[in-house]
Amino acid sequence: MSFGVFDRDGNLREERRAAIGHFHGGGMSRTRAVHEAGHYVAGRAVGASVAMRSDGNVDAFGLPNAQAQIVFLLAGGYAAGTGAGCGADNANARAALNEYPPAQRSRVWRQAQAQARRIVAARRGEIDRLARRYS
């Protein structure tokens, strides 16, 4: 889903997007809490506004582009250290990747993976604190 950011005169300044980070592992286990916290922290790191829903899924609003959306989506699994429960996240990340021309996709994917890993490593303390609050 995308939406426009308009100036006072009603001109479209930029196109922003929203995404939902999912985890289908069931229940708010410790692993799931770390996964969701990874989405949350990565969403903020790429400039989005994020919110954790009462069901535990994380919404990101105002993602600046498709690569940022991929970073947000991959960070959950990276934070948790497992791809378990990441099927929807991965499918959504692949869909965002397909917005790029085929010749750019492998570069964008590698950059998004590296960025998600860097964010998770640099903000591990914040992710763990958030996860403790939610599990």
Interface with Zn ion by CB under 5 A: which residues? 21-23, 76, 89
The closest residue (CB) to Zn ion is 76
Question: What's 47's DSSP letter?
Answer: T
Give the shortest CB-7-to-Zn ion separation in angstroms. Answer: 34
Torsional sign, CA 115, 116, 120, 121 = negative
Do the beta carbons of residue 119 and residue 75 sit within 8 Å?
yes
Between 30 and 107, name the residue whose CB sits nearer to Zn ion. 30
Tokens 């708010």 -> residue: 28
Between 4 and 81, name the residue whose CB sits nearer to Zn ion. 81
Between 37 and 108, name the residue whose CB sits nearer to Zn ion. 37
